Structure 1
């Protein structure tokens, strides 16, 4: 097994879970490969969980509880960790975002951070009364380097029509932002589709809020959903699957790529 140190178990419940996994594995004199057989995963995955790069999911926790007669300890740790607010959620999210090979983004209110222009981002942060707005803007712009890396991750983006219509900053800022969307939509590894606000579309699952799905060889599949002053990373396969189904249902309501570009172009030209 890797000799990397366990994460600080006092920092959050996910790190406490990782700490106990390594502790009980070592107390039993088991290799990562042996524990991987219990959890139905690879030795490398066990190592990543132990150092906090990947999170133990509910199925794996139940397998450990059965095999080690833990009276549900790991299942309870995972359950409480998933419910709670993780103070390191954003750093973990950005790390996964930068390592992802496939991102699926649904946004109901504003342009997703990875697609924002600097002026649009500034208008949002200033409105939110962020005390360190310029630092946050620089961090957001720096995250966008993944759009130009090789190979660029594949991105599928679904935007509600509200995102295109809601006035942010000024007409000039909005026109620049919508022009940026059009430019990105022409890239071979980016698809942008709009969910039209029509009676035909009606109520759809996206009205519940924005979320993102991230996939990568190093960490598998993770869902991310945000709320004011916080966010939540979801790694349980059953929960991630529910988000994937929701994304598929929203996508079924979206316009194809070219009609989506036409709608974006229309709002850009109409913005005054």
Structure 2
């Protein structure tokens, strides 16, 4: 079980042990029941703003667990389904108005982006290796994945938009 999966199960377990519904839990931490549910189903990551509020309201230590076991985890629960889909896809269409999508990032770009989120050292190297490894679908044999990406106002299309 990954750190993200354990965190999600513990959030649900603690909520249920207190006898709280997702709605009543959400009201106390100032998040919607929909938000709470999406985290508990692994559809949305449990991020520091949510975990910090849970810790403040309920006296838990989820932020400490998050910092020690989830930060830097390569495929968080909420992203795994997409990565699995991506690996099987014959064509992908992406829209990203703010940053270059992982499938199009160079190592230098990924390193700078991750550093801006304070991901450095071995965690950064592992994240970059994972990200660049995902790009292999664009060159796989016998049939590479076709990719159409809209980046801001720039339109890119083709088998691979990666610089050579």
With the shorter chain as reference, the TM-score category is: 0.5 to 0.7
Unaligned runs of 5+ in 2: 115-125, 132-150, 157-164
Question: Among 107, 111, 128, which residue is 1:227 paired with?
Answer: 128
Partner SS, residue 227 of structure 1: helix
Unaligned runs of 5+ in 1: 1-10, 100-113, 115-135, 148-152, 164-204, 212-224, 232-250, 261-272
Query: Judging changes above 3 Å, is the alpha-carbon distance between structure 1 residues 97 and 210 closer, same or farther for their aligned structure 2 residues?
Result: farther
Q: 2-side partners of 1:14 and 1:69: how far apart?
A: 20
Question: Among 34, 37, 51, which residue is 1:44 paired with?
Answer: 34
2:12 equivalent in structure 1: 22
2:65 equivalent in structure 1: 77
Q: Please list every run of at least 4 consecutive aligned residues from structure 1 whose deviation after the TM superposition is greater than 6 angstroms.
A: none
Q: Answer yes or no: is the 8 Å Cα contact 1:33–1:42 preserved in 2.
A: yes
Per-residue deviation, 1:28? 0.9
Q: 2-side partners of 1:67 and 1:22: how far apart?
A: 15
Q: Answer yes or no: is the 8 Å Cα contact 2:28–2:57 preserved in 1.
A: yes
1:56 equivalent in structure 2: 46
RMSD across aligned positions (CA) = 4.0
1:243 equivalent in structure 2: none
Q: Answer yes or no: is the 8 Å Cα contact 1:18–1:52 preserved in 2.
A: yes
Question: Among 31, 36, 41, which residue is 2:21 paired with?
Answer: 31
Number of equivalences: 121
Q: 2-side partners of 1:91 and 1:32: how far apart?
A: 19
Q: Answer yes or no: is the 8 Å Cα contact 1:58–1:75 preserved in 2.
A: yes
Question: Among 72, 79, 83, which residue is 1:93 paired with?
Answer: 79
Q: 2-side partners of 1:154 and 1:91: how far apart?
A: 22
Per-residue deviation, 1:46? 0.9
Q: 2-side partners of 1:83 and 1:154: how far apart?
A: 26
Q: 1-side partners of 2:25 and 2:35: how far apart?
A: 10
Q: 2-side partners of 1:33 and 1:55: how far apart?
A: 18
Q: 2-side partners of 1:90 and 1:74: how far apart?
A: 16
Per-residue deviation, 1:36? 1.1
2:57 equivalent in structure 1: 67
If the length of structure 2 is used for normalisation, what is the TM-score?
0.54
Partner SS, residue 4 of structure 2: helix
If the length of structure 1 is used for normalisation, what is the TM-score?
0.35
Q: 1-side partners of 2:99 and 2:57: how far apart?
A: 42
